[in-house]
Structure 1
Amino acid sequence: MISLESIRRKTGLVLLVIGLGMGAFILMDLMSASGSRKGVTNIVLKVFEDEYDLTEFQQRVQNVSKNQQNQDRSISDVRDSEFNSFKREKIFENQFNKLSIEVSKEENKDMIYGDNVHPVLKQSEIFINPETGLFDNQLVVEYLQNVAQDQTGQGEISFRSFEKQIQYARKEQKYNVLLFQSSYVTEDFALSTYENQNSFRDVSYISIPITTIPDSFIAISNSEIKDYLKNNSDQYQQEESRSFSYVVFDIVPSEIDSNIAKMYLENIKEEWLDFESNDSANSIFVNKYSDGNMSDFYNISIEELTNSYISKNSLLYNNQIYGPVVSGEGYSLLKIHKQDASKLAKEQYLDSIRVSVIFKNIFAGSQSRKKVFAEAGSFCTNNNNKKLFNQAVIDLGLTKRIKEEMKKGETNIVGLNDPNEIISWINEANEGDVSSVFSLDEKFVVVCLDLIKEKGTKDINEVETEIKSILIKKQKENIIIEEINTANYNSLSDLIDIFGGEIKNIKQISFNDSQIPGLGQELDFIGSVFATDKGSLTKPIKGQSNIYVANVDSISNPVDSNFYGVLDQLKNMSKNRSLYDAFIALEKQAEVIDNRINLNYY
């Protein structure tokens, strides 16, 4: 039987379950009820007009943060990752509801203790019969019977949370099957793909470099640049973004702070020297006074001892303390334990000595922090606009760090951990503003908002050079093509006589090629060649850097029409992409509103 005490001990069941088995599915909210909550005021996410409260998302983040095994992840990383999962689930749940995709009570029982138990439950040790070493349905039943009697409620919370996860996974599985079954590839498309893969062309061609016409021969007016931007504005769209600079003032311990750490160890030397006790008591003493867990004894080589703690040829004694000496980012004391006195007097007979160590970090004290804060405060007070900020950085020899075009929703700034306050200020500040001093970890930061770009078409000044180059290239292409079209030629040799150059050959070009040997990515070249009959010349082709004319020397088509293998491949590709493609399409339709920034929770 599974006891209540066992339930309490194994409340972490769902944590194990999530870690082992739910990687293929999205982590569900462990505590909050699912579904939309219209009318809430603390909205963190809105999809398809459904609103979701910050509290639901916060609880989810707290659970994942508490249970995560990788402690190197910052809270910002956890929040960002969980928000993407949270958004994905809510988008799909909307579709589940519209399509009436549900999990029946019978299905739920079947996944938990029926004939088709969820794989994660089968792998959980708590439900493995110790006699058979196999999963035992009856142990699940016993667990659920005892969960209701657990006064703490933790067992039921954990299991019901897991139950929600597998129900969501089953709904997503059903939805995916619907997408699979609706995926369709026509035989005509498969035949076309098969022919494209197995048809080849041998060609000869000439190329006329666009650079044969100097840029200086082409005049581009401002009105032409404006018209191009207007007519092609869809290619020059930008998201709202903010670019900023920041200066970091590191809080570094002073000489006074160093002396405080050193004196701390000096003050405990006598007590430790008089401390006569067993190894366990010594470990407690060391751990009490040391920064970090230094309670274990270890052996130190004579060479390391003489390099770090004592001078060469010094006499060694049992229970002797050496130090404090500089050690990494602090000071350490070392004590020798229980050595053979005769050998200790002649250290050359010892390979190593048993010791314990007390370590003290050098921390920046309040005076050190105040000093650095005063420097940062003086900097932002005296340089309260963009011009003064940039000049002061140069004059004071400071390092200016730059973040270009930070989009809404971005949460990372290089070198700064969890910079929520800074990001909130950046999103509210005006262009050219300089911040007050921000305190982050062991550093102070001052920020200058350099540039704000609004959502929409890019400013003409930003793209003028690029557009001008495009227009110059187009005019040069048109000049060369017009010269070709007005020339009297019937072969590539005739064009060589007029424009110079040489005839080159390419073998076995496929319509599916993305690169042409010697030419690179020239898709228009491939398309023109496959649209031209054998023995005929193509029309002039605009390339990346050249104008081409090609002759189709030979055509090789597939000898049969056995395209069914290709048809199966295309069907599998369509099915495998169905869920991903569906999410991308639904995300666009959902008109997602991410309100984390306004709630200062990112």
Structure 2
Amino acid sequence: MAILSKIRERSMFLIIIIGLALFAFVLDPSTLGDFFNSNKVNEIGEINGETVSRQEFATAVDAYKQQAGSNVSDMQATKTVWDNIVRKKIYQNQLSEAGITVGEADVWNEVINAPSVKSNPQFLNEAGLFDETKFKQFLADTKENNEQMWSAWSNYMNQIRDNAERNTYNNLVTAGLGASLKEGEAEYFVENTKLNSQFVFVPYSTIADSLVTISKSEVEAYVKANPTTFKVDESRDISYVKFDIVATPEDETAIKNDVATLIEDFKSATNDNEFLNENDSDINLDLGFKYKNSVNNQVSSEIFEGSKGDVFGPYKDQGYFKISKVVEVAKMPDSVKASHILIPFVGSQRATPDITRTEDQAKKLADSILNVVKRSNRKFADLAKEFSSDKSNSDKGGELDWFNYNRMTPAFRDFSFTSKKGDIDVVKTPFGFHIVKIDDQKNNQTVVKLATYGRKIVPSEATENAVFQKSEQFALALSKNKNFSDVAKENNYATKPAIGLKVLDENVPGLGNQRNIVTWAFNNDTEIGSFKRFDLEGSHVVAFLTGSTEKGLMSAEKATSRVRPVLVNEKKAKLLADKLKGSSLEDIAKANNTTVRTANGVTLKSPTLAGAGSEPKVVGAMYNAEPNKVYTNIEGSRGVYAFTLTNKVLPTALPNYETKRKTISEGRKRLTFKMYEAIKKASDIEDNRANMYVGN
């Protein structure tokens, strides 16, 4: 009975739903299937009729992020993966239409001929030659026993396939992108023909801008006539006020005084590391030696005149208030010159795949080499060439350039700077065992070890609350239908714009990676005039939506700054047309209170006119002009021209134009990226990623 009751209660709701579906079917029968079918919801896009599912896309994004690690953001991964999928499917479509298939054998040949596979010692036989059977067995074992490694190999082979498909198509197309000798000849003459002319130039600036009126409809007409230039994606414009949460002078004073209370306890502490931990130091203990120039200059002089056990501070340094205790005073060089022989082992950093010795074996080898060089120092260089894995200096006998204290890994550094010239010993580092010989040292000076307690300078809770209240009050004023700019001005708050945010952007100018703000700006319920407060790391932001642009052609308002100068010059050219009438250049020059100018040796490749600047359209007109004929009302980039071609000097003909033909041909074959962009432009691509990353 309870179930029947619930059905009765919801029957009207079900009737409405079914009714809406049937109504949609009457208008368009194809919509009924979509109404009850979630396929559309699961599509992320479509490329030339081939669907890209959400699952396919999400899997590819996850794989890419695992491969790239923490260096890539979600939106960067999204963009890269989408671009890769589009490229892959476009090339596959082109090859399919051409009836060309990249088969398994093609991919396999690419894989086994890759240097990283063919030269890998793991896949070589006793004769040192690549053994395909060993490689196949390795892949079979990997697939069976190591899922993570098999995934990496699968991705690698898929990448090989994608590259093979792309290269196959590009090679087929570029094979037909040659050039004829006639083209080489034409290019040679176009580039090297020199034009001598006389001209009169009347700049657009001779007519005041105030005499020219440009209407909104004219801007709209120009945009519609040039759709490619003014095509825009969906975007949003916002303004925002940022309320930074920073420590006040009062906060700093309180922190400084608090740190100062620890000085006496720090002096008497017998275990400095425990003291830092028990008193919640915001910096860790660092007992490396410090040179005077590396210590804060507020206290460096006092510290280097102090004694062991003295405590100095509090002093402000790199966002902290610190107190430093002198732990040790010593003398050390500031630079060392040394030589080394590096013996790595399995598991040491940067060990190459051919390293098979264990740590114990590496230690024994290092000790035996040490005994040899101690008996005969002259053998060091030869042994470095024979045994050292550091090939950057093994050819120089293991000799390193001069290095300072902070350049080397700690164990290597400590031995080099605390030993004496001529000392030799084995030093273990993460890279293996080093036989180190101290060749020279210079600039011996006082150094200190410091135990430093630090407290980060952060705003107090009262300061955080005060900043929060400011942002809340600003948002509250906006909720009362007050103007964003007016409220900001009343409170002396600086407003900052972020213009042209795209739906998959994550960076907001001035705020950095703030994907949540972009998502809000594109939500269906966010309209122009909407606002929202965001709590960011170290600040609060109140954002206000100021503009919304839909996908299509740029609006007249946004296009005006680009279109107006073009239309102004066009109208000025018409106004100047009457001034450039006359039977000779002298008459035209006199009527415009200017002079006849001369241009000699001008080419289409370098279309610069003396006193006027770069004018490719005008020089192009000169190239095709009849000699000694007056041409008027030639519109250029900077003004209107009248000219006479006085002489056209052709270059000396060449015996053949093979070199020029070859240059043109090779240049065309390098344009594979432009070729891909042209195919992409001609493809039918539907990108619905926004539906996956913007909440509605």
Q: TM-score, normalised by structure 2?
A: 0.65
Deviation at 1:575, TM superposition (A): 1.2
Residue 400 (str. 1) matches residue 396 (str. 2): no
Name the counterpart of 1:144: 139
Aligned partners of 2:590 and 2:314: how far apart in 1?
Answer: 89
Q: In the alignment, does 2:202 pair up with 1:200?
A: no
Within the candidate set 117, 130, 133, 1:121 is matched to 117
Deviation at 1:121, TM superposition (A): 3.4
- Which residue is 2:160 aligned to? 166
1:486-497 matches, cutoff 5 A: 487=582, 489=583, 491-497=584-590
Structure 1 residue aligned with 2:48:
48
CA 1:337–1:463 in structure 2 vs 1: closer, same or farther (change >3 Å)?
closer
Most deviating of 591-600 and 522-531: 591-600
Quote the Cα distance in structure 2 between the aligned partners of 1:261 and 1:124.
60
2:151 equivalent among 147, 157, 175: 157
Partner residue, 1:3? none
Q: Does 1:334 align with 2:329?
A: no
More strand as a share of residues: 2
Letter aligned with residue 47 of structure 1: I
Distance 1:317 1:520, change over 3 A: closer
The residue matched to 1:598 in structure 2 has which SS? helix
Partner of 1:11: none
Unaligned runs of at least 5 residues, structure 1: 1-37, 277-281, 341-348
Give the residue type in structure 1 aligned to 2:142: V
Q: 1:386·1:433 contact (CA, 8 Å) conserved in 2? A: no
Q: Pick closer, same or farther for the CA change 1:65–1:130 going to 2, 3 Å.
A: farther
Among 562, 565, 569, the alignment partner of 2:663 is 569
Please say if residues 287 and 449 of structure 2, whose CA atoms lie closer than 8 Å, have aligned partners that are also in contact.
no
Q: Which letter does structure 2 place at the counterpart of 1:43?
A: E
Return the offset for 1:285. 8.0
Deviations 1:277-315 (A, max 9, x none): xxxxx7698689554554544346499589439968997
Structure 2: gaps of 5 or more residues: 1-37, 331-443
Tell me the alpha carbon deviations over residues 402-451 of structure 1, each in whole angstroms, 9 at most, x when there is no partner. 11233444332123233111101111355542422212222221101112
Contact preservation (8 Å) 1:61, 1:78: yes
Matching residue of 2:422? none
Distance change in 2, residues 1:565/1:161 (3 Å): same
Q: Which amino acid is the alignment partner of residue 542 of structure 2?
A: V
Amino acid corresponding to residue 399 of structure 1 in structure 2: A
* 1:213 CA displacement: 5.3
Aligned twin of 1:87 = 86
Q: Is the 8 A contact 2:503 2:519 kept in 1?
A: no
- Alpha-carbon displacement from aligned partner over 1:164-189 (angstroms, at most 9, x marks no partner): 11121122211111121232435544
Amino acid at match of 1:589: A
| Mapped partners of 1:76, 1:593: distance in 2 | 18
Question: What is the rounded CA distance, in whole Å, between the counterparts of 1:323 and 1:208 in structure 2?
Answer: 73
Contact 2:577 2:633 (8 Å CA) reproduced: yes
Measure, in 2, the Cα distance between the counterparts of 1:60 and 1:270.
57
How many residues align? The count is 538
1:584 partner SS = helix
| SS of structure 2 residue aligned to 1:540 | strand
* Distance change in 2, residues 1:471/1:81 (3 Å): closer
Give the Cα separation in 2 of the matches to 1:302 and 1:408: 49
One-letter amino acid matched to 1:576: R
Given that residues 205 and 503 in structure 1 are in contact (C-alpha distance below 8 angstroms), is that contact kept between their aligned partners in structure 2?
yes
How many angstroms apart in 2 are the aligned matches of 1:125 and 1:333? 56
Q: State the secondary structure of the residue aligned to 1:450.
A: strand
Contact 1:39 1:51 in 2 (8 A): no
Against the structure 1 CA distance between its residues 160 and 324, is the aligned structure 2 distance closer, same or farther, given a 3 Å change threshold? same
Q: 1:86 to 1:368 in 2, by over 3 A?
A: farther
CA contact 1:300–1:355 (8 Å) conserved in 2: no
Distance in 2 between the 1:364 and 1:332 partners?
A: 17
Residue 551 to residue 63, structure 1, CA distance change in 2 (3 Å): same
1:328 to 1:502, Cα distance in 2 relative to 1, 3 A: closer
Q: Which has the larger displacement, 531-540 or 287-296?
A: 287-296
One-letter amino acid matched to 1:105? E
What CA distance in whole angstroms lies between the structure 2 residues aligned with 1:359 and 1:416?
29
Same amino acid, percent of matched pairs:
18
Partner SS, residue 608 of structure 2: coil
CA displacement at 1:396 relative to structure 2? 1.8
CA distance, structure 2, for counterparts of residue 380 and residue 123 of structure 1 = 65
- Corresponding residue for residue 449 of structure 2: 354
Map of 1:481 onto structure 2: 577
Structure 1 residues 201-225: Cα deviation after superposition (integer angstroms, max 9, x where no partner): 2111223345555566x57585xx6
Distance verdict in 2 for CA 1:149–1:449, change over 3 Å: closer
CA contact (8 A) 1:310 1:322 kept: no
Q: CA deviation at 1:514?
A: 4.0
The answer to whether the 8 Å contact 1:183/1:575 transfers is yes
- 2: distance between equivalents of 1:556 and 1:314? 82
Partner Cα distance (2:548, 2:664) in 1: 45
Partner amino acid, structure 2, of 1:575:
K
For 1:436, what is the secondary structure of its paired residue? Answer: strand
Instruction: Check the 8 A contact 1:205/1:550 in 2, yes or no.
Output: yes
Q: Is the counterpart of residue 373 in structure 1 residue 368 in structure 2?
A: no
Determine the C-alpha separation between the residues in 2 that align with 1:101 and 1:57. 26
Post-superposition offset of 1:525: 1.6
Matches for 1:99-138 after TM superposition, within 5 Å? 99=98, 101-113=100-112, 117-121=113-117
Give the residue type in structure 2 aligned to 1:571: S
Residue 526 (structure 2) pairs with residue 448 (structure 1): no
Q: State the one-letter code of the partner of 1:107.
A: D
Cα distance between partner residues in 2 of 1:310 and 1:228: 69
Q: How far is 1:43 from its partner?
A: 3.4
Which secondary structure state, in structure 2, belongs to the residue aligned with residue 580 of structure 1?
Answer: helix
Equivalent residue letter for 1:91: I
User: Residue 235 of structure 1 corresponds to which residue in structure 2?
Assistant: 226
Structure 1 position 298 matched with structure 2 position 292: no
TM-score with structure 1 length normalisation?
0.74
SS in 1 for 2:613: coil
